Structure 1
Amino acid sequence: MNLPTLGDWSSFEELARVQETRLDAVLASASRSPFYAARGVPPSLRDAPLTTKADLRDAYPFGLLAVDRTELATYHESSGSTGSPTASYYTQSDWDDLATRYARKHVGIRADDTFLVRTPYALMITGHLAHAAARRAGATVVPADNRSLAMPYARLVRVLHDLDVSVTWSMATETLLWAAAARLAGYSPGADFPALRALFVGGDSLSPARRARIEEIWGVPVVEEYGATEAGSLAGACPEGRLHLWADRVMFEVHTDTDEIRPDGRGRLVVTPLYRDAMPLLRYAIEDEVEVSYRDCACGWWLPDVRILGRTGRVSEATLDEHVFSLPAEYGVLFWRGRVDSGLEIQIEVADRYRAAACADLTASIGDVRVTAVPPGGLVPITRLTSSPDVLKPRSLFGPDEDWDTAHRYY
C-alpha cells in the first residue's frame, strides 16, 4: 500500500484531495464488516451516522471485522477508563500505517537510539505501537512496561542511566516520577543522563507549563503524541511545537454541542481512518473534547491544529495543570490531584517551607478553589520510587528451609 508522506501536498485544498481519493475504498471496506453491513453503508461519508463507543462494545469482539481472521496481526482492547473496554484489531498492512504515523516526530527515531518504552505491553496498543515504530527505524528497544512489577522506578532509573537511553515513550506524569526517583537515587535529571535527547509523551494532560517544567528538569525537548487504541496515532507535535492531526491518514471532524458535524471548531473529535483494513470505522466518536483549526504553520506540514481539552463533562484538567505548573519552579511541585464536589479542591505535594506560598499563589491564580498541601511523599509514596520488590516465579516444589507459602505468588 502506498501511504501518503509529509510533503506530498502543499495546501489544505491538496490535503482534501488526498483524503477524497480514499473515501470510496473506506466505504467499500466498511460494507464487509457485519456491523456496518447490518446498519447499511451510505453512498458517502457525509451521510454516515456516528459510530460510538457503545457501538464498539455491542459489536465485541469481532462484529467490526472486515477481513478473514487469518489476516489479523494483533488484537487489542482499550483501557476501559470510560466504561467497558472496546476491541480493536489490525492487519500487518494496518500496522504499516500505524507505525509510520507514530514515527512522524520532529525529533525522529534513529537507528543509533536506545528507545525506552514505558507504557503498557498489554491489550492496549500504546507500548506495541512505539516498539514497532522504533524497530522499523532500527533502534534498540528497552521494553520497560509500566504495568509490570518487574520494572519499579528504582530499576527504571538505573536502566535510563546505565543503558544510555536516548529516547523515551511514556505518559508525561511518568517523566516527573522518574525525576523524583532519580533525585532520591542521587542523580541529577538534567546532568547525569547525557545520552537522553528527547521525551515522547502522550496519554495524559500536557499543558504548556507542564511541558516547560519537564523540559527544564530533564534538559531535552518534550514531544507530544495524541492517539487512541481504536485508531492509533492521531496527532503529533511539529518543530513549531503545535500539535497537528494526521489528516492525510485519518479524516477528522468535530461533533459540536448542537449536534452539528463540522471540519473544525470546538467539540468532540470524530475520526474515520483512511487506511484501515481489519476494522474500518466510519465517523467514530472518540469522546475527547478538542478544538480543531486550519491555519498556516511555519513547519509546512499543511495539517490542521488540535488542542486536546479533555474528556467530555469534566473540569478541564489541562487548565488546572497549567495553573499548577505555572507555580515557581523553586517550590518543587511535581504532583497534584483535584476533586470536584460542591466546589473545586486541589491538593499539591510540596515541602513545608514552600507550603504557605504555594497554596496562596495557586489559590490566587485559580480563584474559587480550596488548595491544601501535603509533604513530599504524601501523594507519591517515597517507597514507591525507591523500593525494588521481589518478583517471584510461581513454583510448586520447595526444600525444607524454603517458604512454600510463596508457591503461587507473582510478587
Structure 2
Amino acid sequence: MMYRQLYRLMRIIRPREFRSLKYSRELERNQWLSRDELEHIEWQKLKKLLDHAYANVPFYRQRFQQVGLTPADIQTKKDFCRIPLLSKDDIRAHEDELIAQNYAEGMKRDTTSGSTGIPIGVYHDHNYVPMENAAFTRLRRWFGVEPGDKAAWIWGRRDDLPADTWSARLITALKRERWLNAFRVSDEEMQSFAEMLVEWQPDYLVGYATSVYLFARHVSSHHIAEIHLKAVETTAGTLWPHERQMIEETFDCQVFDRYGSHETGHIAAECEYGRMHIACDVCCVQILTGGKPVSEGEVGEIVVTPLYNYGMPLIRYRIGDVGSWDTQACPCGRGLPALHEIVGRTNSIITLPSGKYLYGGIFLTILEDVLEIQQFRVHQPTKNKLEILLEKGDGFRQETIDLVHERTIKLLGDEPINVSILATNEIPPTVSGKYLVTTSDVPVEF
C-alpha cells in the first residue's frame, strides 16, 4: 500500500506522470460507456487526428491530395477507408516526411524489434508514454494489479531492458521490478530467476508469451511451487492453448494476454472473462479483406490508427496481423469492442500452391503430442517448399522425424510441396527474444 501511495505522489509532482494520471481517469471512465458512446469518442479523436495530419504532416497532405481528399470529406467510416493504407515500407521510405512539423522537437525515436523483418524507426511525442502508462494501468486493474505492485519481467527487447548503471538499477528498485532477459536464456538463468522470485514474491509476471511458457515449464519440471502470483500477463506473439494451460497450472492464477506493438502502442487486452477488448479510445482498429471491412465471423487483415501520437501519426497502418471480430456482449459489462481471435501475423501464414492458406497454429495441433520434441519452427521460403526445424528432447530418434514428416504430408494433402526436416539441439529466439512457430516468405494479400 505504501508503494501505491508513493506512485500516486510521483504522478502528481512529475509532469509526465501527472498527464498519465489524467489520462487514466479518462480511460477508467470510458470503459463503462456504451458501445455507441465509445464509437462517438473514437470518431471525434480520429477526426481531430486527421485534421492535424493534413495540416502538419507533409506525407499525409500529399497522400490526401493524391486521392482527392481533405479531412472535411471524411464524414463516415466508409469515407475513412478511402485513405490509402500505410505500410512498413512507407515508413522506411518516408520517415522524415511522416513527422509533424509542429512536433519536430522533443520526440523520442523508437525502433521496432524487427522480429518480422527489417526494423523500422518511429517517433513518439510527449503524450505517448503517459497514455501508454494509463492504458496499462487500466488493463492491469482488470486482474487486480495497481501501479507500484511488484512486477517480474521476462523480456528481450534491448531498448526496454534496464541499463547496467547505478541510476537504472535505482529506478528499477523504486519501481519494484525484476527482469530476466528472454534472449538466449539458459536453464541456469531461469533457475536463478525462479529462486529469486520465491524469495521476492512478485504480484504479477509479465513477458513474451512463449518465453513465459518456457519459464513455466522449467518451474514445473523443477517442482518449484512457492511463486504466488495474482496474474500473468503475456504479449508479443500468439499464446497457444497448451502454453496458457501450462502457465496457469504452474502458477495457479489466470493468464491475461494483451496485444500491441512498439510502433502503435497498446491495442487490446483480455478482461477477467478472457475477451480481448480493444482500447478504442486509444487506438482505432479495422479488419479488412479486399480493402473493405470484413463480415461477421470473417478473418481479415488488422489495420490500426493510434489516436494519441500526433508527433508521427500512423494512419491506417498495416500492422501485419490477421484476426476477426467478437460481436457478442461481454459479461464484464465493458462497452469496449473485442477481437474474437488474432490468428497470427501475415508472415506466419503458409500459402499453398493451390492458393489456399494454412494458419501457423495448425502445426501445433499435429505436433503437440510428440513429446520427443522440445520446440519446432516451420519456415516457407517459397510456395513449393517447407523447412521444419526440430529441437531434440528426451527420446528423440529417427522415428520422430519420420512421424513429423508423415503428419505434415497428411496435413498438406495433394499440395505439391517439398518438405525438409532438420533436427538440432537448440532453436534460438529471434534477436528480440521471441520464439516464432511459423514464418513464410510468400506474401499474403487480403
- Distance of aligned partners of 1:244 and 1:263 in 2 relative to their CA distance in 1, 3 Å threshold: farther
Pick which of 49-58 and 112-121 moved more: 112-121
Shift of 1:290: 1.1
Residue number in structure 2 paired with 1:42: 70
The question of 1:142 aligning with 2:205 is answered no
Distance 1:219 1:149, change over 3 A: closer
1:227 pairs with 2:260: yes
Q: Judge which range, 300-309 or 1-10, deviates more.
A: 1-10
Question: Aligned ranges for residues 167-178 of structure 1 at < 5 Å?
Answer: 167-178=204-215
CA distance in 1, matches of 2:211, 2:284: 31
Structure 1 gaps of 5+ residues are: 129-134, 382-411
Residues 219-368 of structure 1 aligned to structure 2 (within 5 Å): 219-256=252-289, 258-261=290-293, 265-306=298-339, 307-313=341-347, 314-315=349-350, 316-325=359-368, 327=369, 331=371, 335-340=375-380, 342=385, 345=388, 347=390, 349-352=392-395, 367-368=410-411
Paired position in structure 1 for 2:51: 28
C-alpha displacement at 1:239, in angstroms?
0.8
The structure where helix makes up a greater share of residues is: 2
| Higher mean displacement: 356-365 or 261-270 | 356-365
Are 1:51 and 2:86 an aligned pair? yes
The Cα of 1:163 is off from its aligned counterpart by 2.3
CA gap of 1:322–1:42, structure 2 versus 1, over 3 A, is farther
Q: Note the C-alpha offset of 1:241.
A: 0.9
Residue 38 of structure 2 corresponds to: 15
CA separation of 1:301 and 1:358: change in aligned 2, threshold 3 A: farther
Identical pairs, percent: 22
The alignment partner of 2:281 has SS state of coil
Give the length in aligned residue pairs.
362
After TM superposition, the structure 1 = structure 2 runs for residues 115-154 of structure 1, keeping only pairs within 5 Å, are 115-123=151-159, 139-147=175-183, 152-154=189-191
Distance 2:156 2:366 in 1: 29
Query: 1:233 corresponds to which letter in structure 2?
Result: H
Question: 1:119 touches 1:126 (CA, 8 Å); kept in 2?
Answer: yes
- Structure 2 residues without counterparts, runs of 5 or longer: 1-18, 75-79, 164-170, 351-358, 413-418, 429-446
Change (3 A) 1:19 1:111: closer
Give the partner amino acid of 2:70. Answer: P
Q: Which deviates further from its counterpart, 153-162 or 290-299?
A: 153-162
Alpha carbons of structure 1 residues 157 and 12: separation in structure 2 relative to 1, 3 Å: same
- Which residue of the other structure, out of 101, 111, 129, is the alignment partner of 1:95? 129
**C-alpha separation between the residues in 1 aligned to 2:128 and 2:91?**
19
RMSD: 3.8
Q: Deviations for 1:295-340, whole angstroms, at most 9, x for unmatched residues?
A: 2111112222221111225232233335545x39xx5865333344
Distance 1:344 1:80, change over 3 A: closer
- The one-letter code matched in structure 1 to 2:202 is V
Other structure's SS at 2:27 match? coil
Secondary structure of 1:92's match? coil
Contact 1:267 1:289 in 2 (8 A): yes
Report the CA distance shift for 1:175/1:149 in structure 2 as closer, same or farther (over 3 A): closer
Report if the CA contact (8 A) 2:155-2:208 is conserved. Answer: yes
Work out which of the residue numbers 166, 170, 180 in structure 1 matches 2:203.
166
| Equivalent of 2:232 in 177, 199, 211 | 199
Matched, 1:107 2:130: no
| Contact 1:169 1:199 survives alignment (8 Å) | yes
- Report SS of the residue matched to 2:299: strand
2:375 corresponds to which letter in structure 1?
Answer: F
- Between 28-37 and 139-148, the greater mean CA deviation after superposition: 139-148
Q: Deviations over 1:31-50 (max 9, x none)?
A: 21222133236322343211
CA 1:259 to 1:205, structure 2 compared with 1: closer, same or farther past 3 Å? Answer: same
Query: Residues of 2 paired with 1:299 and 1:78: CA distance?
Result: 33
**TM-score where L is the length of structure 2:** 0.69
Q: Counterpart of 1:161 in structure 2: which amino acid? A: V
| Cα distance change of structure 1 residues 158 and 318 upon mapping to structure 2, 3 Å threshold | same
Instruction: Identify which of 96, 118, 126 aligns with 1:84.
Output: 118
